[in-house]
Amino acid sequence: MTALPARGIPAEQVLAELGALRGHDLPTHGGRLFAYVYDAAVGGLDELAASAYALAAHVNGLDPTAFPSLLAMENDLVAAAAQVTSGLAGRVGEGAAGAVATAGPVGDGTSGVDPTAGVVGNVTSGGTESLLLAVKAARDAHPDLATPRLVVPASAHAAFAKAAQYLRVALDVVPIDPGTLLPDPAAMAAAITPDTVLVACSAPAYPYGVIDPVAEIAAVAADAGVRCHVDACFGGWLLPYLRRLGRPIPPFGFELPGVTSVSVDLHKYAYAPKGVSVLLHRDAALRRPQYFGFAGWPGYPMLNATVASTRSGGPVAGAWATLRHLGDDGYLRLAERTLSAVTGLAAAVSTVDGLRLLAEPQTSVVVFTCTDPDPYVLADQLAARGWHTQPQLPYPPLPASIHLSVTAAVADQVAQFGPALADAVAAARAAGPIQVPSELAAAVADLDPATLGPETMAGLAAAAGFGPDGLPESMAIVNTLLATLPPERRATLLVEFLSLLQTPPH
């Protein structure tokens, strides 16, 4: 099959071919994929978002004066994200002109003042872009520094490392406590130097679903005169709703005076189509270094708030329609379903001998480790039964674990998960741990990253059981092999593997 046939193909045939390709993908709906996708299981929501997406698919975010509809929707999404992450959702009303009016104490309950007054922001393509722009704004606010530095906990999202690499910012990683899985605010403070431009923390951290001590970390950053970014990309939209349901969720937004920026993804627990995150800044002065502007060429003056210049309005319109349709009350109901699912999954894990919750679920994540059976074999056995989890490699002293990102759609699947888990554990024990062939283990251990190329990588992939399509029949051997390597070597090997996969047919 080629994307450019000699003669055009009828539309219905093209769609049938696309459907056949999609048939090889993991299921995006149904509550059995615990990573990558977020399913609200609300009837008609996909169709609404798709229709809204189509209405704005050809709108270009390059020039907001040409497409004021997109500007209006983006500003609406920014305002909604600021209200939700600062604990104002459900406590505000709309006046005749749509102005926000507080309905009593907000945030930490010490004041009736709206903590989002003056907050500005932009819609981005995802959490990684939001974090990259937060780092850029902090870096470019200090052009005098030869080596600007970024302080993050070890549990911070890998996108911070990507931003540091892209922007040539030094990354200072603070260990997390292996018991609480949290960073020590005093250790974060000690890591700050005169060259530090940004301190970051998570609400919650993706690997374990725990919320960093944001108030304390923001306070030490403020004391040092350094910006503090809260990465709430993963669960920031959900946490305030969990708080309203009685969960002990601490404040993490602009109600905390040391917080200077917050990111939240709408394509996660706001259940919008993929490609929508929001980066918020406390005020316009803090945001200004985020912008790119250039008029020193014969063409149009280029002005961008995000990394991309041309941006489709489709994802923004899909997100706007989703928020309008679900509303605050809808998100509260979805949070209740998610919380019920988390409780049920955690109980199912706790009843199986050999499995141990790595952290008591605080948000929307269930993460567990295995003393017996092998976690990678267990993940494969669950996948064979239609349950697709996310294995996490060991991060000494923390063991390998299995991560479940739980959405509202999972609530209908909880009763089936317990028996499936018990059955998968029994099968994994019977199969035993993966034994990596000694020749393959030796070949990987002796790899020279400087000479690792496509031919060598293709040979290693074949030896590890990858099929002719480049995809593995089983991930257990791959994860077992990666677990034997230091993180830097893992990354090198995976980069070469991705390069191998992304080779077009000739």
CATH number of residue 375's parent domain = 3.90.1150.10
232 and 285 together in one domain? yes
Number of domains the chain contains = 3
> What are the residue ranges of helices labelled H in 61-126?
68-85
Of the three residues 273, 305, 322, the one that is the final residue of a domain is 322
Distance, CA of 66 to CA of 300 (rounded, Å): 13
Whether 100 is in a domain gets the answer no
- Residue located via tokens 């060598």: 456
Is 43 part of any domain? no
Contact criterion met (CB below 8 Å) for 263 and 130? yes
The reply to whether 25 falls in a domain is no
Q: What is the CATH number of the domain that holds 153?
A: 3.40.640.10
State whether 240 and 338 are in the same domain: no
Q: Are strands 196-202 and 149-153 parallel, antiparallel or unpaired?
A: parallel
One domain, residues 163 and 149: yes
395, 457: one domain: no
- Determine the Cα–Cα distance for residues 216 and 417; give it in Å rounded to an integer: 38
Helix (H) or strand (E) holding 414: helix 414-431
Residues 424 and 462 in one domain: no
If asked whether residues 316 and 356 sit together in one domain, one would say no
The three state secondary structure string of 221-288 is: HHHCCCEEEEECCCCCCCHHHHHHCCCCCCCCCCCCCCCCEEEEECCCCCCCCCCCEEEEECCHHHHH
| SS3 state at 172 | strand
Residues 276-305 as b or e (16 or more Cβ within 10 Å = b): bbbbbbbeeebbebbeeeeeeeeeeeeebb
On whether residue 303 sits in a domain, the answer given is: yes
pLDDT tens string, the chain, 506 residues long: the values are 789 999 999 999 999 999 999 999 999 999 999 999 999 999 999 999 999 999 999 999 999 999 999 999 999 999 999 999 999 877 644 433 333 333 333 444 445 678 999 999 999 999 999 999 999 999 999 999 999 999 999 999 999 999 999 999 999 999 999 999 999 999 999 999 999 999 999 999 999 999 999 999 999 999 999 999 999 999 999 999 999 999 999 999 999 999 999 999 999 999 999 999 999 999 999 999 999 999 999 999 999 999 999 999 999 999 999 999 999 999 999 999 999 999 999 999 999 999 999 999 999 999 999 999 999 999 999 999 999 999 999 999 999 999 999 999 999 999 999 999 999 999 999 999 988 888 888 888 777 777 777 888 888 888 877 777 667 777 898 899 899 888 888 888 888 888 888 888 87
Last residue of some domain: 322, 348, 378? 322
The answer to whether residue 189 is domain-embedded is yes
Q: Say whether both 68 and 141 belong to one domain.
A: yes
Domain termination residue (choose one: 401, 431, 461): 431
Strand ranges for 427-475 from DSSP E: none
Residue 12 lies in a domain: no
Residues 81 and 205 placed together within one structural domain of the fold: yes
- Measured N-to-C along each axis, helices 454-463 and 487-501 cross at an angle, to the nearest 10 degrees, of 100
- Parent domain of 143: 53-90+108-322
Q: How many CA atoms lie within 13 A of 170 on its CB side?
A: 13
127 and 253 in a single domain? The answer is yes
- 425 and 442: one domain? no
- 101-110: long-range pairs with CB below 8 Å, 24+: 106/255, 107/251, 107/253, 107/254, 107/255, 107/256, 108/251, 108/255, 108/256
CB atoms within 10 A of CB 75: 15
What is the three-class DSSP state of 204? coil
Q: Which residue has the tokens 């301190």?
A: 199
Task: Say whether both 458 and 412 belong to one domain.
Answer: no
Report how far residue 413's alpha carbon sits from residue 411's, in angstroms, rounded to the nearest whole number: 5
Q: What is the pTM of this model?
A: 0.93
Residue 304 is assigned to a structural domain of this protein: yes
Residues 339, 474 within the same domain: no
Q: By C-alpha distance, which of 481, 482, 492, 497 is closest to 449?
A: 492
Domain membership flag for residue 378: yes
Number of CB atoms found within 10 A of residue 449's CB: 12
Per DSSP, the residues of 334-388 read HHHHHHHHHHHHHHHHHTSTTEEESS---SSEEEEEESSS-HHHHHHHHHHTT-B
